Structure 1
Amino acid sequence: MSRRALAERIALLKRLRCVGTGLLAGLILSTLVAGLVPAATAVTFGALVGGVAGPAMTLLLAYLTVVLLGHVLTTVREPLAYLARMRIDGAHRAEVARLAATSTTIGGLEGAGVQALIRQARADPESFMDGTPGPGTLAQVDILGRLTGIAGAAVVLAAFRWWLAPLLAVAAAGLQGLAQLEGRNWRRVWTGVLVPSQRADVWSEALVSPGEGKDLRIFGAAGWAVEQSQGYLRSAFDPMWPVGRRILVRQLCEIPLLFVPLAIAYLAVAGGGVPVATAAAVFAAAMSIYPADAHQAHQTINALTCVRAYDQLRAELTSAATTDPAVAEPPAGVPRIRFDDVSFGYPGTGRTVLDRLDLEIRPGELLGIVGLNGAGKSTLIKLLARLYEPTAGRITADGTDLAAIGAEAWRQRISIVFQDFVRYHLSAADNVALGNAAVPRDDAALAAAARDAGLTDVLARLPDGWQTPLARARTGGVDLSGGQWQQVVLARALYAVRTGARVLVLDEPTAHLDVRTEFAVFERLAAHRGDATVVLISHRLSTVRQADRIVLLGDGRIAESGSHDELMARRGRYAEMFTTQAQRFQESA
């Protein structure tokens, strides 16, 4: 075993710290004692067969006691091992989740390579080549038990012929090494086909998902989706079959390594003049020293692959992380936000979305941001939330760079409703209170946020009001329409404002609402936003006409800026867009 391999196995054993002292002591004790059972079984069986060292009934009782002890230890150890595995894997999953969640930005999580590492590291087995640290860690404990058993069996064999124990141990080690080699071969090929395997999972999940399932059924694309899934699965598993065939052929070559040493040991016993008791003990001890556990080797390789992926993921995310010193305090009041010569392009695209953009967001104003698809409206908001960092320029709050404030502290001051908002399978109250999960739930703020978002009538129709789960998959749960969900998310953002946020950003917040509800929501929003700044992004120009100021994005910069009346009077691009939308609305009416 190389120095690196030994260090990795020791690192696995260190994960036993999260098991707990009492459980770990019971697990190790039962493993070590169980390791001595085969040697004790060989001795008592030999004595029983040879009829030596005492009355037959006493020998039989000793033999049965040892056999029963082995069964008891196996029965007791299994639940202990299960609990230990769950604790180890639970701690590992928490580490992976914490690593992903504490990444300052989301840019580092989006690459295909990082997603492949996350799949390997997240300890969520989806195939026979996926594994978790728990079984691999306990496999190292099992090795200690095996070594104890080999030592006990070696004592029995050495009493007859000293060279039998090393002969069988070397052969068993050879089989174990071959098993590890086979596992590494499987693993090398499997690592190269993770991407098609991930793509197969996308289509497999779509086939059983209620959301994607609607489209697949309506468009008659279910069969096509199955073909896509199977095609990617073939791409993933076709390279595995040649490896499997080579391993099967190699396993035939392992037969001599299994039978020749055993045959030598048995011939040595059968040579004549050997007492029956000795022969029986040698036979039993030889069988106990020999087995090589291929499954144990497979568990170890899977665990090491998982841990290595986690270490590589941590290195990737750490190298991609933006320095976040958090040396400055966030503004106490409503801040004045400035985008100073900000440029940004998504990694790997080669396209500049924002190009030396200058924008001021004034304290307490209702700012509307409009523009064609792809103009950079949502990108601007992601930069404001520090989900990405500008490739050039800086964003300040009251003159302080957001990078100096720190992402976590800054995000406590802002609340954002994204266009692709999340529908949590939680109660209505939890869905709204997640707008500010860092503070204790404020029922009065919940009620006020629901009122301002127009959610009160929706809550009144729910079976259990605030406590109704918003998912049909939950017991007693219901699903909401798109417009009702949008009101829930609006209430979530307004709850954040009522519990400390000073900047509210709404990205297409009323796309699912009818015109009457939309007008009512924004009338309440304008009346009850307090002194918070509101940034409103919308394709509906009738929505933003109520804004104090409107900016039109074009070619990555501010093309026009002013109130609705001022922009209409200029008869520029905004006026043209507004007139076109108004005509379409009148024609549809």
Structure 2
Amino acid sequence: MRDIADRMRLVRVLAAARPLPLALLTAALLIQSMIPAATAAALAFLVGELGEAAEQGTRDVFAVAIVPLAVFAAVLVLGHLAEAVVTPLEQLAAARIDGRHRTEVTRLVAATDTIAAVEDPKVQVLVRQALADRSRGYDRTPADGALAQLRWAARLVGAAAACAVLASLSWWLVPLVLLPAAANRMIRTRDNLRLIGHWREATEGELHADVWRNAAVSPAEGKDVRVFGFADWMVDRMQDHIRQANHGLWRHVDRMLRRSWRHALIVAAGLVPAYVAVAVSTADGRATVAVATAVLTAGWSLFLVLGPSSDMYDIASGIRVLKATDELRAALAERAPATRGELPPPDSPGPAPLVRFEKVSFGYPTTGRAVLRDLDLEIRPGELLAIVGLNGAGKSTLIKLLAGLYRPRSGRITVDGVDLARLDPDLWRAKLSIVFQDFVRYRLTARDNVALGQAHLPPDQRLIDAAAASAGLADVLDRLPDGWDTPLSRSRTGGVDLSGGQWQQVVLARALYAVRRGARLLVLDEPTAHLDVRTEFEVFNRLAANRGETSVVLISHRLSTVRQADRIVLLDGGRITESGTHDELMALGGTYAEMFAIQAERFRRGHDDRIEEVTPR
């Protein structure tokens, strides 16, 4: 019953191909599958007519043969026409079926509330299996499985037609040929099903090879590959992972090739007795040449429609991909919140929220080490809060928890008194605007890069220009060949590459654009680490002056910048250990005061600390 349910699911997948192409493809496959039997019947008709004419001494052989020849030619032409349209129709159907499936998988993964689920190795394997990329050799897609099942159904019709031709001559020819043909099919199906298991193991193992495969073709890693000359080492490493992952798969394929003689033996067991029996009957005069011709052709056509093909493998693989998608959906659902609350719509007026971290602890599953321990922190409406601390103190982790990208192990985060876990994550994030330290450089135009700050809303050029001015991006735009329409990637026509500092201004403009479209909490994680001190000072002066009612959380290694904050907190050992204004913390004489003194001395000596962070003695 389970197998029937899986097969029916593949039938439902075919609906994505749309009715007209699917109907045409089904008709073409049916015609194509019946051509062997029709050819046998037409050839027997032709031979029979010619034999009868010869026995009667008819001289005008052409007149006798014209009708059977026309029938035979029509069968061949119809077969060629069906074959000609099957391939493009299958390609069209496959594009639509797989396009819908991959869109579904992509939406499924992108819709997860947290990134912790996507980082799970089990989920990564399921994503790869669900996407079923053909470029990796043995992978098959839902379209492959669905179309293979359609072909298999058509082949059964063709097999029935071939059996009918055999039965019309002698009933015992049907089991004599059909049983070996079915046995041949079962053996091939069993081998292909085992192949599926090895393929799944190889898919999991090749995740390691993907790291080096992607690096080999990436421009970012390409600089290191060429400068340090480790291309051969990288390719060898990739090949080692591929060999280890595919060892069982390749061994099984080799075993299948070495045992292929069995199939030839089965074919011979089915056809030779039938051919011998018919040949003897024909020689004895108990059967005609036409009968012999029909048996020879129909018998072979039966092995042809039930013989070598990848249909069973494709069907099993297509079902495996759909099951992997189900497993992926279930794995992601396990991490989804049980209930979701609400927030006002992102464009509704209102002040910035009061956010509290209450005894929050968190550690990454892969390390087991606690990053935050019973952390208490308050982000007050409309304030500029600075968070400082050493590398690895957990500053960026705190921001990801604030965005709901991870969930605390213990404790809770509240927004105006409501647990963040109960809020609709999409509506909450519409209230946020974040510049992450490891920001993404999208290969889009300058305008699109900024408009991504509120991509679900139509771009507002006036607000885009204002955000660019606040981020100090105007001078950069003036130097771009096509201004806002310039692609920010040299790999695109007319595109340019920006420096690290210029990219930071683009990303900052994106965040400020989101604020102008309704975000009420702006979070900046090292937003100007690649800028010089003067540019950074100008940017933050404009930010402080024009933030309005928006709360701002600033993480920066430059303490000369954070001194402008309304409040500064020091994160150390997973907890907030110091809190106050710049003057209060300097008067305290603690870790913050020591860090500030070290940076001030370095600055007096002329050090450029754009991407450095100091450690107190």
Q: TM > 0.5 between the two?
A: yes
Q: Using the alignment, how far apart are the partners of 2:149 and 2:203 within structure 1?
A: 27
Opposite residue 200 of structure 2, the aligned amino acid is T
Mean Cα displacement is larger for which, 234-243 or 85-94?
234-243
How many Å apart are 1:584 and its aligned residue? 2.1
Q: Secondary structure at the match of 1:233?
A: helix
Retained in 2: the 8 A contact 1:176–1:294? no
Corresponding position of 1:80:
89
* CA distance 1:150–1:551, change in 2 (3 Å): same
Kindly indicate whether residue 59 of structure 2 is the aligned counterpart of residue 44 of structure 1. Answer: no
In the alignment, which of 214, 219, 223 is matched to residue 228 of structure 2? 219
Q: Secondary structure at the match of 1:290?
A: helix
Mean Cα displacement is larger for which, 522-531 or 424-433?
522-531
Corresponding position of 2:534:
516
Retained in 1: the 8 A contact 2:568–2:580? yes
How many Å apart are 1:544 and its aligned residue? 1.2
How many Å apart are 1:328 and its aligned residue? 5.4
Kindly indicate whether residue 150 of structure 2 is the aligned counterpart of residue 141 of structure 1. Answer: yes
* CA distance 1:234–1:588, change in 2 (3 Å): farther
Q: Deviation per CA, 1:21-73, whole angstroms, max 9, x where unpaired? A: 21222122222222222221111111112226982112111111110001101
How many Å apart are 1:266 and its aligned residue? 0.8
Corresponding position of 2:491:
473
Q: Using the alignment, how far apart are the partners of 1:487 and 1:436 within structure 2?
A: 17
Opposite residue 29 of structure 1, the aligned amino acid is A
Retained in 2: the 8 A contact 1:344–1:352? yes
Q: Secondary structure at the match of 2:136?
A: coil
* CA distance 1:552–1:126, change in 2 (3 Å): same
In the alignment, which of 344, 356, 362 is matched to residue 338 of structure 1? 356
How many Å apart are 1:360 and its aligned residue? 0.7
Q: Using the alignment, how far apart are the partners of 1:443 and 1:108 within structure 2?
A: 36
* CA distance 1:327–1:446, change in 2 (3 Å): closer
Kindly indicate whether residue 377 of structure 2 is the aligned counterpart of residue 377 of structure 1. Answer: no
Opposite residue 556 of structure 1, the aligned amino acid is G
Q: Using the alignment, how far apart are the partners of 1:196 and 1:150 within structure 2?
A: 40
Structure 2 unmatched runs, 5+: 53-62, 608-617
Opposite residue 294 of structure 1, the aligned amino acid is S
Q: Using the alignment, how far apart are the partners of 2:250 and 2:18 within structure 1?
A: 42
Kindly indicate whether residue 292 of structure 2 is the aligned counterpart of residue 294 of structure 1. Answer: no
Which of 1 and 2 has greater Rg?
Answer: 2
Q: Deviation per CA, 1:177-199, whole angstroms, max 9, x where unpaired? A: 22222222223223223344121
1:418-437 aligned within 5 A: 418-437=436-455
How many Å apart are 1:487 and its aligned residue? 0.6
Corresponding position of 2:419:
401
Opposite residue 367 of structure 1, the aligned amino acid is L
Corresponding position of 2:324:
309
In the alignment, which of 106, 121, 130 is matched to residue 112 of structure 1? 121
Corresponding position of 2:611:
none
Q: Secondary structure at the match of 1:25?
A: helix
Q: Deviation per CA, 1:333-392, whole angstroms, max 9, x where unpaired? A: 311111111111112422111111111101111111111111111111111100111111
Q: Deviation per CA, 1:227-259, whole angstroms, max 9, x where unpaired? A: 211221221233334323322232222221111
Opposite residue 80 of structure 1, the aligned amino acid is L
How many Å apart are 1:149 and its aligned residue? 0.6
Mean Cα displacement is larger for which, 38-47 or 294-303?
294-303
Question: Please, what is the CA RMSD of the aligned residues?
Answer: 1.7
Q: Using the alignment, how far apart are the partners of 2:581 and 2:268 within structure 1?
A: 90
1:17-166 aligned within 5 A: 17-51=15-49, 55-166=64-175
Corresponding position of 2:8:
10
Corresponding position of 1:279:
292
Q: Using the alignment, how far apart are the partners of 2:563 and 2:183 within structure 1?
A: 78
Q: Using the alignment, how far apart are the partners of 1:348 and 1:229 within structure 2?
A: 24
Q: Deviation per CA, 1:55-96, whole angstroms, max 9, x where unpaired? A: 211211111111000110111222111111111101110110
* CA distance 1:422–1:167, change in 2 (3 Å): farther
Count of aligned pairs: 587
1:238-253 aligned within 5 A: 238-253=247-262
Q: Secondary structure at the match of 1:513?
A: coil
How many Å apart are 1:329 and its aligned residue? 4.4
* CA distance 1:6–1:170, change in 2 (3 Å): farther
In the alignment, which of 417, 424, 441 is matched to residue 435 of structure 2? 417
Retained in 1: the 8 A contact 2:129–2:324? yes
* CA distance 1:308–1:494, change in 2 (3 Å): same
Retained in 1: the 8 A contact 2:343–2:428? no
Q: Deviation per CA, 1:247-287, whole angstroms, max 9, x where unpaired? A: 22322222211111011221121012221112112211111
Among the aligned pairs, what percent are the same residue? 53
How many Å apart are 1:430 and its aligned residue? 0.7
Mean Cα displacement is larger for which, 52-61 or 298-307?
52-61
Opposite residue 31 of structure 1, the aligned amino acid is L
* CA distance 1:170–1:586, change in 2 (3 Å): farther
Mean Cα displacement is larger for which, 388-397 or 62-71?
388-397
Q: Using the alignment, how far apart are the partners of 1:578 and 1:169 within structure 2?
A: 88
Kindly indicate whether residue 341 of structure 2 is the aligned counterpart of residue 326 of structure 1. Answer: yes
Q: Using the alignment, how far apart are the partners of 1:314 and 1:77 within structure 2?
A: 34
